[in-house]
Structure 1
Amino acid sequence: MDYIPFPQISPEIFTLTLGDFSFSLRWYALAYIAGLLIGWRMVMGLMKRPALWGGEAPVAPGKIEDLLSWIILGVILGGRLGFVLFYQPGFYLSNPGEILKIWEGGMSFHGGFLGVVAGAWAWAARQGVAPLKIADALALAAPVGLFFGRIANFINAELWGRPTDLPWGVAFPGAGQDCFGVTGICARHPSQLYEAVLEGLLLGAVLLWGIYRRGWLQLPGRSLGVFLAGYGAARFFVEFFREADAQFITAENLRGAVLAGMSMGQLLSLPMIFAGLYFILRARSRAA
């Protein structure tokens, strides 16, 4: 079987040790930091371009720094609670002290997304700003964080795909040695990279084009709708190639389906697709 050996990249960029104190900067943490900071600058850039909004920008660029604090809180709390509730509720109900151990991993995009929605909505209400306009701006920033996050997933050798005999399959460490009933090196779809391209690069390019070339910000909800539908569709598609979470796999259910043959990721993505289509149609009808 042809395959690509997993590159020897340490999940830790560097480690500082001072006596009994030790600090490590991991690629996953850097992905969050880079995504948030670049996204913040992108949203500020939109607020400096009133013409993109068809007149006055929703808020002054300087106020976006305050919004960033709410977004960070929403990402962390929502991402962690989403993982706890959607993926391992039984374990965390039995071990509530483990919920706070974010440094050990376990974040959910769908939970983080709900956390960002709640944080941005609360901030917009305090500022007296139309929430849909803020959501449209954040929609442009989200693919940046998704791209960096999926690259970090790949570096961490986690959330890999199903076994494949395609030549670009990757032999991830710890991914098992039994492929297609044959004992040996098991090559798998690099589904993290599929998601980085679809959810990050492609979706981000579409939103950049729509906002800067097609005036989508002048139609409140349009950019949000494209992001929701685009992410939901991309995630739903990639789930066919992504290995299901171990807690959902049984001898009778090797694909880890949780409802109607769908994985948890697909199940959580369906509402995003429908919500996205609603906002797109809503924006189009109000523009007519």
Structure 2
Amino acid sequence: MSAPYLHDLAPFLFRYDGGQGSVYTARWDGLACLAGFALALLLLRRFSARGYLPLARPEVFDFTSMVALLGVLLGGRLGYLVLYEWERFSGNLGLLFQFGQGGTSFHGGLVGVAVVTWFQARERQVSFLSLGDNLVTVAPLGLMLGRLASFMDGELFGRITRVPWAVRFPAEIHLAAFQPAQATRLAVERLPASSFDIMQVAHAAPRVMDELLLILNPRHPSQLYEAALEGLLLFVILYTVRTRARQPPEGLLCALFLLLHAVFHIGTGFWREPLSGDPMVLGLAQGQLFSLPVLTAGLGLLGWILLRRPQPAGVQERETQMANSEE
């Protein structure tokens, strides 16, 4: 069996040196955001044309832009800082707008999207759940692209494994728990932070490359697992229900999204390396714990939908007859 693949991918599509220290790049994470927005806009316009979305096609762009900017980007950034960087954020509120430093949270973005959608539904006098059903149908595509970008960046990788498709991620050397399998002369603290920059050093210094091959552990490419489950599979399920089911009750797609995403996220979390300093509770990392309220909300919404769903006429007539006979 061949040795595990050493991650050696660039985090950008192209990079241009403009001179005088200026460098312009088209990073995969930024391109993923743009592509996710474009796909969401395309599908929501199609939903509007088919009568699924209670908005006219000219309104779709404004609605999608508000959700993307205020809900996904700002909500995701705020959620990350509050949930994972509170001490640093409380002393410097300006970090909220420093998107170039990275760091967004799915759960923060989820709350942000829900808030923006609620205000938009109120302003446009349409159903909040109807807007939500359409948004959650297209959202997994953005999640999939984001996870793929994380793999290209070589970040948020998985736990140590021996599966044949394991990958060695250079950024592992900066984990707090990283322990080389054997003594090495490599001064890891002097290497850059990102996988790409580490590999640039390794290509220029064969000794560094040799020692990386010795000390790096094979790991699950958990970003690809998340892209497949939380992204592609979830999209196929929701899109099928959206386009194939006959008049699904309002809120059903929202409930399925919350429920299935939480299940997939908790499941893939067992393959993902916890963040440095991430406390484990009952074997669950923080991201998995934050998915438990989402799971509960999905179950609660699904139960509420089933309870309020109109019963068939025959059942209603029998219940009416029984009530009259008791009187």
In the superposition, the TM-score normalised over structure 1's length comes to 0.88
| Match of residue 101 from structure 2 | 104
Kindly tell me: are residues 3 and 283 of structure 1, through their superposed partners in 2, closer, same or farther at Cα, counting changes over 3 Å? farther
List aligned pairs for 1:68-107, cutoff 5 A.
Answer: 68-72=64-68, 73-107=70-104
Q: Give the deviation of 1:86 after TM superposition.
A: 0.6
Q: Is the 8 A contact 2:172 2:178 kept in 1?
A: no
Aligned residues: 274
Give the match's secondary structure for 1:158: coil
Letter of the 1:280 partner, please give it. L
Give the gaps of 5 or more residues in structure 2.
183-214, 312-327
| Match of residue 41 from structure 1 | 42
Give the match's secondary structure for 1:23: strand
Give the gaps of 5 or more residues in structure 1.
249-255
Give the match's secondary structure for 2:173: coil
Q: Give the deviation of 1:153 after TM superposition.
A: 0.5
| Match of residue 67 from structure 1 | 63
Q: Give the deviation of 1:47 after TM superposition.
A: 1.3
List aligned pairs for 1:2-81, cutoff 5 A.
Answer: 3-20=3-20, 21-50=22-51, 53=52, 57-72=53-68, 73-81=70-78
Which piece of structure 1 moves more, 219-228 or 273-282?
273-282
Q: Is the 8 A contact 1:17 1:23 kept in 2?
A: yes
Q: Give the deviation of 1:236 after TM superposition.
A: 0.6
- Deviation readout 1:29-78 (Å, 9 max, x if unpaired): 0001101110111111111112xx5xxx5121221111012112211111
Structure number with larger C-alpha Rg:
2
Give the match's secondary structure for 2:171: coil
Q: Is the 8 A contact 1:164 1:188 kept in 2?
A: yes
Q: 2:303 aligns with which of 281, 285, 288?
A: 281
Q: CA RMSD in A?
A: 2.2
Q: Give the deviation of 1:145 after TM superposition.
A: 0.2
Q: 1:272 aligns with which of 285, 294, 300?
A: 294
Which piece of structure 1 moves more, 190-199 or 83-92?
83-92
Q: Give the distance between the partners of 2:151 and 2:93, measured in 1 at CA.
A: 29
Q: Is the 8 A contact 2:63 2:120 kept in 1?
A: yes
Letter of the 1:85 partner, please give it. V
Q: Give the deviation of 1:223 after TM superposition.
A: 0.5
Q: Give the deviation of 1:12 after TM superposition.
A: 1.8
Q: Is the 8 A contact 2:7 2:154 kept in 1?
A: no
Kindly tell me: are residues 37 and 172 of structure 1, through their superposed partners in 2, closer, same or farther at Cα, counting changes over 3 Å? same
Q: 1:164 aligns with which of 147, 161, 165?
A: 161
Q: Give the distance between the partners of 1:16 and 1:181, measured in 2 at CA.
A: 36
Letter of the 1:274 partner, please give it. T
Q: Give the distance between the partners of 1:43 and 1:242, measured in 2 at CA.
A: 32
| Match of residue 237 from structure 2 | 206
Q: 1:232 aligns with which of 262, 287, 312?
A: 262
Letter of the 2:8 partner, please give it. Q
| Match of residue 273 from structure 2 | 243
For the pair 1:185 / 2:216, whether they are aligned, the reply is: yes
In the superposition, the TM-score normalised over structure 2's length comes to 0.78
For the pair 1:223 / 2:253, whether they are aligned, the reply is: yes
Q: Give the distance between the partners of 1:280 and 1:3, measured in 2 at CA.
A: 46
Q: Is the 8 A contact 1:163 1:179 kept in 2?
A: no
Q: Give the deviation of 1:3 after TM superposition.
A: 4.6
| Match of residue 253 from structure 1 | none
Kindly tell me: are residues 287 and 148 of structure 1, through their superposed partners in 2, closer, same or farther at Cα, counting changes over 3 Å? farther
Q: Give the deviation of 1:275 after TM superposition.
A: 1.1
After TM superposition, where is structure 1 displaced by more than 6 Å over at least 4 residues in a row? 177-181
